[in-house]
Amino acid sequence: PKEIFLKDYKQPDYYFDTLDLKFTLGEESTIVASKIAVNPRVEGQFSPLVLDGRDLKLQSVKINGNALKEEDYHVDSRHLTLKSPPSSKFTLEIVTEIYPQKNTSLEGLYKSSGNFCTQCEAEGFRKITFYQDRPDIMAKYICRIEADKSLYPVLLSNGNLIEQGDLEGGKHFTVWEDPFKKPSYLFALVAGQLESRDDTFTTCSGRKVSLRIWTPPQDLPKTEHAMYSLKAAMKWDEDVFGREYDLDLFNIVAVPDFNMGAMENKSLNIFNSRLVLASPETATDADYAAILGVIGHEYFHNWTGNRVTCRDWFQLSLKEGLTVFRDQEFSSDLGSRPVKRIADVSKLRMYQFPQDAGPMAHPVRPHSYIKGAEVVRMYKTLLGSQGFRKGTDLYFQRHDGQAVTCEDFFAAMRDANNADFANFLLWYSQAGTPVVKVTTNYNAEGRTFSLKFSQEVPPTPGQPTKEPMFIPVAVGLLDTSGKDMPLSSVYHGGKLESFSSSGQNVYTTVLRVTKNEEEFVFNDVSEVPTPSILRGFSAPIRIESDLTDRNLLFLLAHDSDEFNRWEAGQVLARKLMLSLVADFQHNKALVLNPQFLQGIKSILTDLSLDKEFIAKAITLPGVGEIMDMMTVADPDAVHAVRTFIRKQLASELKEELLITAKNNRSSGAYEFDHNNMARRALKNTALAYLGSLEDPEMTELLLNEYRTAMNMTDQFAALVAIDQQHAIREEILADFYSKWQHDYLVVNKWLALQAMSDMPGNVENVKKLLSHTSFDLRNPNKVYSLIGGFCGSPVNFHCKDGSGYKFLGELVVQLDKINPQVASRMVSAFSRWRRYDETRQSLAKEQLEMILSTAGLSENVFEIASKSLA
């Protein structure tokens, strides 16, 4: 396979204006007839028309109604090439036969649990029919679906239903017309035995939109929260971005077999059922929050992705970065902003930063979702809410109906605000996480406080040297009582910026760091301040400051910026964990720093704080985050240290934790709102600490929590806490399974929990679970739970005898034959193998080589495995 580069982008020679599709769905195969109005870009210029196609059986091809002769076209396993099509507008008709029942890749049209559905992003449409399967080909679609009426009573596609009726032989049909041009990746079709929860939404201009959420009949009661989320998202997009929905119908379908989370197909979103179905008894707070965020996300794509789409797949962050940013803001506005920010930054650190530092590092372009959202957030940080809104308004005004690039988004932000963005565009092209060092200095005589920044972007594959980036750093200064000091002015690069002119006090300012080294000096600083740097995580960077432990403890106690308050605790925890890891490696006894203990205690017992904030602030950084900071990652040492600190904190703070757990117990019915979720989060975090003690009294407490829980959040949290107690876990796990075996989404949680266990030799349990009745290698969610869960276990996946690596290697080979996309996600667990010691390196490398030597390997797995070894 040949790698494709951004610089190779070429305009298509032919545009497609309209596409008429006709599907005849059958039990053996499906016939797809397409009729395309083709429009050459340059009239009178002859060039071949190359259509993409995979796993298709071509039945016929016609131009302007005439069947093509064999010598006029060429078909191979990838393309249908029309050698010399007309050089002015013409009609192209193609009939293909496809086999959705045999399609286990879950790309294109496939059958899942009795129903037909599609997944076309990024290149699945070519598995349905021959087409120019690229996002800059935007056409108006009409789709006719014919199928057996009793097997497939519901037939859906994009746009409006314009016709339906019965046919001979027990069949029926529907015809759908989508008035908006769209790229092929947004096409969708669903057919099957489904029922809908119906509701309506009246838009800001007074149009009534029908909303339908489709599931198999038995799941319908679990769609209430999804409907709530959809209506909230529609309203929010009007209020915050001025975006109104544009059709009279919006459909969501939940399917159990889906490679990703969900898909924003025009007016027919298809969702992994885990992100639609929820009830208090079966879904946790995290599930509820994820459903809200993802329903919002897919809905928001209607404008950011669908109305304005991507020119090519290198522009993925144009739609994903912006839409992730929008869903983050949506969830923040409906819940707690600081807590959401902490959760999003934790995710960035867990998934993005490690990737940035490894062989898979790549710039925001082509395909970084989370970092793309950070880039969008920086525009807002630099321009303010109003400036940012002006920018998005101009973006929609300029580009509605177009397929555009990240530069177009940049230009809209810049032009709407007359802004100077210096070298901001480097965020799209330069890979790696910038490392920024800050040194601080207070000058009592001059009453000035200076911050000196130096930045470095580490080399990444293909990019050995880097330019300095444009980094917005939000800063505030705390006085000795812990209050924010009003900022007077800052001197930088020969210029003085004064904050007094507006008449309002300024407590946080955004410094624009653009050089390798530069200094900012605050004036009129009356006493030694404690600086709060990178408030709200204003840029996706790693920051190393000269702040002392005392400064950090002070920030942890007082910072008005809750993100930085949390961050101060995390920095302290990271330092502590790293020093204990060194002790562990040198066989020294582990001792917990009493100041750290005090810091955690004061947070835990501060009743003025948001409870979910407390839960997050008393949670230690993950094993992965600490391994990331080591020259040679040592999973055993980091795991041992993290376990030690947790136990130590639990035993020292046992009384406080017990009170916290008791005072925050549930009372009454489940409510999805921030206060109740925060209360549960704090209680359950406290229980997890207590569970680590393995003390019989705590065991009783947890068992009682487990038995009396009135919702899945509390029940599963108790189970997780019990799971640490190796003596009784088996029995309780069996009990949980017998309670929930009828609910596959709950069973997936049960699989994941066991997969992640740090029990020695757990690989054997996981192997056994592969043949458990509840497991199925063809279902992505089950694979993500069991195999993905296992790869997240530091001690067992990275076990020094190589058993974890061997397990994954063999599984990837097996899985690749079924579903290459899912297999490639799994193989990426190997990608950072060079971070470990020599023994582990050679064991992981052996597996990667074994995978690469497998005959018939998919491109998906090949790409990840070969890049990992490069």
Sole binder of ligand DPP in the list 253, 262, 426, 690 (CB under 6 A): 262
Pick the closer one to ligand DPP by CB: 20 or 320.
320
Q: Which stretch binds ligand DPP (CB under 6 A): 84-92, 257-265, 285-293, 771-779?
A: 257-265
* Contact between 628 and ligand DPP per CB under 6 A: no
Asked if 136 and 308 count as a contact pair (C-beta separation under 8 A), the reply is: no
430 φ/ψ sector (left φ>0, alpha ψ -120 to 50, else beta):
beta
* Contact between 792 and ligand DPP per CB under 6 A: no
* Contact between 600 and ligand DPP per CB under 6 A: no
Indicate which of ligand DPP, Zn ion, none lies near residue 558 (CB less than 5 to 8 Å, by partner kind): none
Choosing from 93, 107, 298, 374, the catalytic residue is 298
Indicate which of ligand DPP, Zn ion, none lies near residue 723 (CB less than 5 to 8 Å, by partner kind): none
* Contact between 562 and ligand DPP per CB under 6 A: no
Site string for ligand DPP, 723-762 (x = CB under 6 A): ----------------------------------------
Asked if 404 and 308 count as a contact pair (C-beta separation under 8 A), the reply is: yes
Cα 81-82-86 angle, rounded to 5 deg: 155
DSSP string, 597-634: HHHHHHHHT-TTS-HHHHHHHTSPPPHHHHHHTSSS--
* Contact between 106 and ligand DPP per CB under 6 A: no
How many angstroms from the chain centroid is the CA of residue 30?
33
Least Å distance between CB 212 and ligand DPP? 19
Indicate which of Zn ion, ligand DPP, none lies near residue 121 (CB less than 5 to 8 Å, by partner kind): ligand DPP
The residue whose Cβ lies closest to ligand DPP is 260
Give the C-alpha separation, 25 to 242, whole Å. 40
For the chain, the helix, strand and coil percentages under 3-state DSSP, each to the nearest 5: 45, 20, 35
Give the C-alpha separation, 253 to 420, whole Å. 44
Distance linking the first and last C-alpha atoms of the chain: 15
Least Å distance between CB 370 and Zn ion? 11
Pick the closer one to ligand DPP by CB: 264 or 408.
264
Least Å distance between CB 366 and ligand DPP? 14
Number of residues that bind ligand DPP (CB under 6 A): 9
Pick the closer one to Zn ion by CB: 320 or 816.
320
Please report, as a single letter, which amino acid is at residue 854.
T
Asked if 822 and 259 count as a contact pair (C-beta separation under 8 A), the reply is: yes
Sole binder of ligand DPP in the list 48, 86, 261, 387 (CB under 6 A): 261
Pick the closer one to Zn ion by CB: 51 or 318.
318
Q: Which stretch binds ligand DPP (CB under 6 A): 163-171, 255-263, 479-487, 844-852?
A: 255-263
Pick the closer one to Zn ion by CB: 122 or 759.
122
Q: Pick out residues in 317-336 that bind ligand DPP (CB under 6 A).
A: 320
Helix (H) or strand (E) holding 852, with range, is: helix 838-852
* Contact between 818 and ligand DPP per CB under 6 A: no
Least Å distance between CB 375 and ligand DPP? 16
497 tagged catalytic: no
Edge-first strand listing for the sheet containing 249-255: 195-202, 208-215, 249-255, 268-272, 262-263
Least Å distance between CB 369 and Zn ion? 7
For helices 562-585 and 549-558, angle between their N-to-C axes, nearest 10 degrees: 140
Indicate which of ligand DPP, Zn ion, none lies near residue 710 (CB less than 5 to 8 Å, by partner kind): none
Pick the closer one to Zn ion by CB: 317 or 323.
323
Tokens of 504: 């309002």
Per-residue b or e along 221-244, where b marks 16 or more CB atoms closer than 10 Å to that residue's CB: ebbebbbbbbbbbbebbbeebebe
* Contact between 257 and ligand DPP per CB under 6 A: no
- Cβ neighbors of 42 (< 8 A, separation 6 or more) are 13
Give the C-alpha separation, 131 to 36, whole Å. 9
Tokens of 26: 């059958």
* Contact between 264 and ligand DPP per CB under 6 A: yes
Least Å distance between CB 262 and Zn ion? 8
Give the C-alpha separation, 194 to 192, whole Å. 6
Pick the closer one to Zn ion by CB: 320 or 714.
320
Q: Which stretch binds ligand DPP (CB under 6 A): 100-108, 258-266, 667-675, 777-785?
A: 258-266
* Contact between 366 and ligand DPP per CB under 6 A: no
Give the C-alpha separation, 403 to 423, whole Å. 24
Least Å distance between CB 321 and ligand DPP? 11
471 three-class SS: strand
Indicate which of ligand DPP, Zn ion, none lies near residue 364 (CB less than 5 to 8 Å, by partner kind): none
* Contact between 345 and ligand DPP per CB under 6 A: no
Indicate which of Zn ion, ligand DPP, none lies near residue 20 (CB less than 5 to 8 Å, by partner kind): none
Q: Sort 3 into a burial class: Cβ within 10 Å, 0-12 / 13-18 / 19+.
A: exposed
Sole binder of ligand DPP in the list 58, 68, 75, 260 (CB under 6 A): 260
Give the C-alpha separation, 161 to 176, whole Å. 5
* Contact between 292 and ligand DPP per CB under 6 A: no
Least Å distance between CB 221 and ligand DPP? 25
* Contact between 359 and ligand DPP per CB under 6 A: no
Pick the closer one to ligand DPP by CB: 260 or 630.
260
Q: Pick out residues in 118-137 that bind ligand DPP (CB under 6 A).
A: 121
Pick the closer one to Zn ion by CB: 320 or 625.
320
Give the C-alpha separation, 263 to 258, whole Å. 10
Site string for Zn ion, 309-348 (x = CB under 5 A): -----------x--x-------------------------
Closest CA to 208 of 174, 247, 256, 178: 247
Give the C-alpha separation, 163 to 466, whole Å. 58
* Contact between 186 and ligand DPP per CB under 6 A: no
Give the C-alpha separation, 747 to 774, whole Å. 7
Asked if 712 and 280 count as a contact pair (C-beta separation under 8 A), the reply is: yes
Asked if 534 and 543 count as a contact pair (C-beta separation under 8 A), the reply is: yes
Distances (CA, A) of 494 to 220, 359, 491, 520, 781: 65, 41, 7, 10, 57
* Contact between 690 and ligand DPP per CB under 6 A: no
* Contact between 263 and ligand DPP per CB under 6 A: yes
List contacts with Zn ion (CB under 5 A).
320, 323
Q: Which residues are near ligand DPP by CB under 6 A? A: 121, 260-264, 297-298, 320
Residues annotated as part of the active site: 298
